[in-house]
Structure 1
């Protein structure tokens, strides 16, 4: 048992949190005359350490997840979803969303393809919500920052939001609120074949890593930069006043603040880490992350092409309400999760 505890501690601290990298950067900065005892030196360390750590973890996770995705092309996902109806269909769709694209905008083409293929509306919405909110890459990064209990709780409640939202939308029978829009460019058969060689399966993740990092690296840099500023320059009492326990509307504020922002979850995680250390409530922070990743303004604009205003407003309202409820749940149980 002691061996397993030590192994778990080693994985958490040296592999996921990469404390060795932190010490290495401190050593290099000290040799350059940049002291960690100053705000500037501490900010530089935070920025370099988090950018490298998140990028390395992300590259590794994208590679393995993309390799897994070669066994689940869109056409196969559609065939799987067609086998299930009702609640089970929503559950399967939400789970499939965890191994598909990393942001809301990249999952929308699959959502459109599923709609055009005649899948139940509620099932496709469960997929649409789950895909950007609870992918496997974010799970690993959440473990590296918050620990395994919080990461699993985040994923579980994210799946619950996706499943319940899909069920509600299905029960409302809003199929007539879809636009008569069938884009010729949407082909959910995908380019991935089930008959790939091992070499081809390994090449696809390499390409995916390069393409994904090129898209999200900007948001990682911006997110870490904002985190470094908050970490060293924003007073704790200011964060606690807005997002702390004494503000009962913090979750609502954070959710609504996150919706207009377009960023990847990998860019919001370093900000969340700093805010938590500054005294912000856990649920308030996670509500902000969910709002950013699931209901970003660009994704809402894209969804307007296939949804009429009534359906779009209902989708946003249901998802937003679910995120806010989850935020308050996390705040209530925060001290049990650490």
Structure 2
């Protein structure tokens, strides 16, 4: 699931690029702490303990999410995704949106999986439904969201993921039915790694994976890789949260993203794109922002918009599909994210 990058470059520049690619999160943590120690040592100590304490408090949810991700990979349950893309268009859209909101695919696996689907001739509408829903939530993220932001918020995020997928799938189906978007992939875009293999050559699911040595090895490898991935990203996120709580004025947060009405949610829609780090890393950041006055609707919008349209994801999408499809993807993501935040805030207001 969380696979290291392949190192092929030669020489000092290639070595430096490899080190940065493999350890950029750890280097960022060390660099930030080093800078704070040089400028304000007491805050560096406080931020370090804040990060450690936050990781320990999140540990039960973290362990459960790691076990779920490793189990899905070891059993071969991720191969079930192939069954979502057969049948009538409406059925495919609904199934793809639901599986997108529930599937435990890693961020590196979404793009090659989408490439494989499109290369196999799967219609764009169900692919778009899965594409939009998948980055927003998965079982592991649901557990962590519950731990950091509460069960109600986690449910709202899950419903938003499925709803965004349905919205995108229906709109895309209507456009393709009218003759648009017949040519989707760029010529150089072809399938690749991670989830694509499960789709093109799905293996039988073995729920009792521990009886197979190869699957036990897969479980151990995935559990370790997921642990490293989550711990380093969460450590960076908690470190940034500590700095945000120390240096970002609560009045500024309340003014920019707090309050009521449309403005904070609209702001969160567009701020989420450049400010978003990672699906897991964003959770404690949003928790800190909400503690300082950001309305829940803006928090949901930030997570959804950032998850779907973050700069790394957007660059990967642009490299894969033609410009018109990319523009549709961005438009659906931003409009759906804005609508989800507004609806959630309206629901909170009526419920309150």
The offset of 1:175, in angstroms, is 2.6
Task: Give me the TM-score of the superposition, normalised by structure 1.
Answer: 0.79
Q: Is the 8 A contact 1:179 1:308 kept in 2?
A: yes
Match of 2:98 in 1: 95
* Equivalences for residues 19-38 of structure 1 within 5 A: none
Is 2:183 aligned against 1:169?
Answer: no
* Equivalences for residues 36-75 of structure 1 within 5 A: 43-54=47-58, 56-72=60-76, 75=79
The offset of 1:140, in angstroms, is 1.0
CA distance in 2, matches of 1:226, 1:215: 17
The offset of 1:213, in angstroms, is 3.2
Distance 1:182 1:280, change over 3 A: closer
Q: Secondary structure at the match of 1:194?
A: coil
Is 2:76 aligned against 1:85?
Answer: no
CA distance in 1, matches of 2:185, 2:328: 12
Is 2:287 aligned against 1:284?
Answer: no
Is 2:210 aligned against 1:198?
Answer: yes
Match of 1:331 in 2: 345
Distance 1:261 1:232, change over 3 A: closer
Match of 1:34 in 2: none
Q: Comparing 208-217 with 114-123, which one deviates more in the overlay?
A: 208-217
Q: 1:159 aligns with which of 159, 162, 166?
A: 162
Q: Secondary structure at the match of 1:178?
A: coil
Q: Is the 8 A contact 2:268 2:299 kept in 1?
A: yes
CA distance in 1, matches of 2:249, 2:55: 23
Is 2:114 aligned against 1:146?
Answer: no
Q: Is the 8 A contact 1:121 1:169 kept in 2?
A: yes
1:232-252 deviations in Å (ceiling 9; x for gaps): 443321210111115732222
Q: 1:108 aligns with which of 102, 107, 111?
A: 111
Match of 1:237 in 2: 251
Q: Is the 8 A contact 2:84 2:95 kept in 1?
A: yes
Distance 1:246 1:64, change over 3 A: closer
Gaps of 5+ in 1: 1-37
Q: Is the 8 A contact 2:78 2:103 kept in 1?
A: no
Gaps of 5+ in 2: 1-41
Distance 1:337 1:209, change over 3 A: farther
CA distance in 1, matches of 2:189, 2:289: 43
Is 2:227 aligned against 1:213?
Answer: yes
Match of 1:31 in 2: none
Distance 1:182 1:334, change over 3 A: same
Distance 1:154 1:179, change over 3 A: same
Distance 1:324 1:184, change over 3 A: closer
Task: Give me the TM-score of the superposition, normalised by structure 2.
Answer: 0.76
Count of residues paired in the alignment: 299
Match of 2:319 in 1: 305
CA RMSD, Structure 1 to Structure 2 (Å):
2.7
Q: Is the 8 A contact 1:110 1:188 kept in 2?
A: yes
Distance 1:230 1:334, change over 3 A: farther
1:252-280 deviations in Å (ceiling 9; x for gaps): 22221222345222101111111111111
* Equivalences for residues 120-135 of structure 1 within 5 A: 120-135=123-138
The offset of 1:129, in angstroms, is 1.5
Match of 2:23 in 1: none
CA distance in 2, matches of 1:271, 1:306: 30
Q: Comparing 140-149 with 54-63, which one deviates more in the overlay?
A: 54-63
Q: Secondary structure at the match of 2:313?
A: helix
Q: 2:271 aligns with which of 257, 282, 287?
A: 257
